[in-house]
Amino acid sequence: MPIDPEISALLKQFGVDGPPPATPPTVEEMRAGNRTLSLAVAPQPPIAVGSLDDSTLAGVPVRVYRPQGAGTAPAIVFIHGGGFVVGDLDTHDGVCRRLCRDLGAVVVSPAYRLAPEHPFPAAYDDCLAVARHLSDHIADFGGGPLAVAGDSAGGNLAAGVALAFRDEGRPLAAQMLAYPATDLRIDPDYPSRTECATGYLLATAECENDIHLYLADDLAAGTRAPASPLLADSHQRLAPAVIGCGELDPLRDEGLAYADALAAAGVPVSKHTYPGLIHGFLNYDTHSTAVNAAATEMYTELGALLRI
């Protein structure tokens, strides 16, 4: 299926509709480019929430979004994407605001440490520390059920947190994974890595470069969880999941494979492949009717799992 026309127009508008540059960008250039595009497509004016506070939990900088109104509320740890190398609290501010508003949830987004300065497991350790803090102090964060969510690399980290919570016996009501990176082995055999190698913003070569930067000298970590949630010894007893992938995404097949692995282990899973959508689509919900419909579906299903 062709790319969603509204997404295609957006990529052309920002000059990112072609093949990747012949000379790979530096880490600093990657971060600047990601931030520029993310802020340019963010909802304007920003979605209103009850309150917003930049703070620190378990030694990790976080941004806490609280819904309007009083009473018990669910809590969501939302972990931003960016290949473990780029992204920050601002690049996914619109996603967090919408989750807070639409689900009436307290949303906590960690500013986890990025590679290559801080390779695996730094990002995982940070996100797990924040999630554990919420679990131990849930009364301070709405008092309702707790979920983890994330997109891309954030989906990888959220899935890793869900595995840890299962192993630690901590309650977790749900996990929402948007186009997650679930298999960090080098050169895994997924058709989407070839079919969607270039032309859809995220290139397969970029995915491989991010993996090298994240795992650094420990590429063997990609053959097992938590770096590769798909390769965990068991997926039984994990939190119910909502998993959505774009059709035109090099990470499509490993995200769908994770949904299948959970389902095979008896975990309730809502699995979606969205026609014409590309990697990173959650950030484009105000620019594409198809993206808005996909985001609405995933958020609604997450909300149903968190209904109190």
Residue for token digits 């032309």?
Answer: 199
| Residues that are catalytic | 152, 249, 279
Q: In what order do the strands lie in the sheet with 73-79?
A: 51-57, 60-66, 106-110, 73-79, 143-151, 174-178, 241-248, 269-278
* Residues whose CB falls within 8 Å of the CB of residue 1, separated by 6 or more in sequence, listed in order: 247, 248, 275, 276
| Cβ neighbours, 10 Å, residue 281 | 28
DSSP 249: -
| Closest CA relative to residue 232, chosen from 183, 270, 268, 192 | 183
Instruction: Check: CB of residue 77 under 8 Å from CB of residue 130.
Output: yes
* Residues whose CB falls within 8 Å of the CB of residue 125, separated by 6 or more in sequence, listed in order: none
| Closest CA relative to residue 147, chosen from 158, 139, 160, 163 | 158
